[in-house]
């Protein structure tokens, strides 16, 4: 028996770093949405709690450092089943890009094991189990446009999805460590986007008002240290994108376009500047 799960990438339309908590982590407030760029995972049972991960991406670990592996162990312990799992991962989401690929793979693993072994776990059951794997995993379990707070564990789906539009993603040839960004950034230097206004525009289904309020507090740090990220954003706007913003801690920058012809023009123009350029749509779940 095999189970196949789709693991869509996420984007940050708004990301605000509020303050540092007593536990040393930063309180966040974000608007997140999903896009039609996805990994695909195939699950099949194995005996004796074996965990085997096969992937077409040579950069990913296949042991406990992998989010999929961690998720399988969590589900084995929580639901006390003795089977192992064989996972085949087709990787389409860029790694270490600010698009939540590893988190979405983990969320797909929770869903896949739930179906494969008929565990009867609800979304409310799986979300608390997912928090130790990664702060984006709870959102990826919901998989719909949401206000996300805390460390990422508080997910409030919006009354409406993001207005349908085209998304151009550009990932410069570099990787950025999210923990290092949070460790080195200075709170007083950050810009704070208006998350409330962004949320209101989405729920009013006002695309152009939404584009006015995209923002990411982490841009100030990342773009200062990696000027190519700022250059990508500038080029997107110059080529006609309605809005552009960095996703997560970077380095991927996303541009929103209301019309496909405009999105295609932006994507084609950026292909001469970066190798990894994607033109996708938002997912309206």
User: What is the pTM for the complete model shown?
Assistant: 0.93
Query: Mean pLDDT in each 10-residue stretch from start to end of the chain (285 residues)?
Result: 96 91 84 96 94 88 90 96 94 90 97 97 96 94 96 93 95 83 77 95 97 95 92 97 94 96 97 92 84
Q: Which of 10, 199, 233, 235 is catalytic?
A: 10
Residues 142 and 42 in one domain: yes
**Interaxial angle between packed helices 260-270 and 227-238, expressed in degrees from 0 to 180 and rounded to the nearest 10:** 140
> Of 157, 174, 189, at which residue does a domain stop?
157
94 is in an annotated binding site: yes
Looking at residue 48, its pLDDT comes to 87
Residues 143 and 183 in one domain: no
Looking at residue 90, its pLDDT comes to 97
Residues 187 and 111 in one domain: no
Looking at residue 107, its pLDDT comes to 98
Residues 105 and 208 in one domain: no
Residues 78 and 153 in one domain: yes
Residues 175 and 67 in one domain: no
Residues 75 and 125 in one domain: yes
> Of 105, 138, 157, at which residue does a domain stop?
157
Please give the residue range of the domain that contains residue 217.
166-281
Output the CA angle 127-75-249, nearest 5 degrees: 50
Which long-range CB contacts under 8 A does 191-197 form with residues at least 24 apart? 191/215, 191/217, 191/219, 191/220, 192/16, 192/17, 192/217, 193/14, 193/15, 193/16, 193/217, 194/14, 195/14, 195/16, 195/29, 195/30, 195/31, 195/147
Residues 205 and 125 in one domain: no
> Of 130, 157, 184, at which residue does a domain stop?
157
98 is in an annotated binding site: yes
Looking at residue 252, its pLDDT comes to 94
Q: Which of 16, 105, 136, 242 is catalytic?
A: 136
Q: For residue range 27-62, what is the model confidence (pLDDT) as tens digits? A: 899 999 999 999 999 999 998 899 999 999 877 888
Residues 147 and 214 in one domain: no
99 is in an annotated binding site: yes
150 is in an annotated binding site: no
Looking at residue 285, its pLDDT comes to 67
Q: Phi, psi (5° rounding) for residue 74?
A: -60, -45
**H/E element holding 280?**
strand 276-281
Torsion sign over Cα 110, 280, 175, 138: negative
Q: For residue range 271-282, what is the model confidence (pLDDT) as tens digits? A: 988 989 999 999
CATH number where 180 lies: 3.30.70.890
Residues 173 and 150 in one domain: no
Residue 136: active-site member: yes
CATH number where 148 lies: 3.30.230.10
What is d(CA 109, CA 93) in angstroms, rounded to the nearest whole number?
A: 16
Residues 107 and 135 in one domain: yes
Residues 178 and 259 in one domain: yes
104 is in an annotated binding site: yes
Residue 91: active-site member: no
How many folded domains does the chain comprise? 2
């Amino acid at each position: 028996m095999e189970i196949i799960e789709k693991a869509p990438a996420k984007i940050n339309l708004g990301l605000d770093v509020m303050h540092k908590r007593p536990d040393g982590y930063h309180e966040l407030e974000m608007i997140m949405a999903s896009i039609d760029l996805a990994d695909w995972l195939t699950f099949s049972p194995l005996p004796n709690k074996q965990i085997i991960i096969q992937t077409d991406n040579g950069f990913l670990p296949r042991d406990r450092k992998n989010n999929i592996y961690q998720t399988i162990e969590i589900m084995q312990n929580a639901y006390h089943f003795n089977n192992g799992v064989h996972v085949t991962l087709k990787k389409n989401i860029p790694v270490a890009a600010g698009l939540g690929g590893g988190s979405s793979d983990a969320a797909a693993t929770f869903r896949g094991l739930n179906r494969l072994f008929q565990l009867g776990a609800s979304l409310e059951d799986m979300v608390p189990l997912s928090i130790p794997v990664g702060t984006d995993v709870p959102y990826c379990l919901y998989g719909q446009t949401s206000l996300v707070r805390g460390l990422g564990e508080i997910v409030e789906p919006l009354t409406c999805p993001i207005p349908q539009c085209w998304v151009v993603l550009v990932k410069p040839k570099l990787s950025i460590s999210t923990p290092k960004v949070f460790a080195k950034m200075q709170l007083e230097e950050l810009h704070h986007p208006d998350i409330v206004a962004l949320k209101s525009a989405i729920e009013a289904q006002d695309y152009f008002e939404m584009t006015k309020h995209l923002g990411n507090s982490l841009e100030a740090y990342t773009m200062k240290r990696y000027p190519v990220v700022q250059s990508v954003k500038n080029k997107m706007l110059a080529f006609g994108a309605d809005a552009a913003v960095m996703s997560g801690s970077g380095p991927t920058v996303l541009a929103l376009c209301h019309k496909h012809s405009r999105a295609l023009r932006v994507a084609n123009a950026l292909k001469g500047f970066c190798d990894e350029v994607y033109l996708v749509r938002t997912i309206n779940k």
